[in-house]
Structure 1
Amino acid sequence: MTVNVEALINSLGKSYQEIFNEELIPYKTKPTGNFGTEYISLDMVKEGVYLAFKRKDKIVF
Structure 2
Amino acid sequence: MFASAAASPDPNAVTMDDYAPDTQTWIAAVRQRTGARCVWLLGHSEGGLVALAAAARRSW
Q: Same fold (TM over 0.5)?
A: no
- TM-score tier, shorter chain, comes to under 0.3
Q: Higher strand proportion, which one?
A: 1
Larger radius of gyration: 2
TM-score, normalised by the number of residues in structure 1: 0.26
Q: Which has the higher helix share?
A: 2
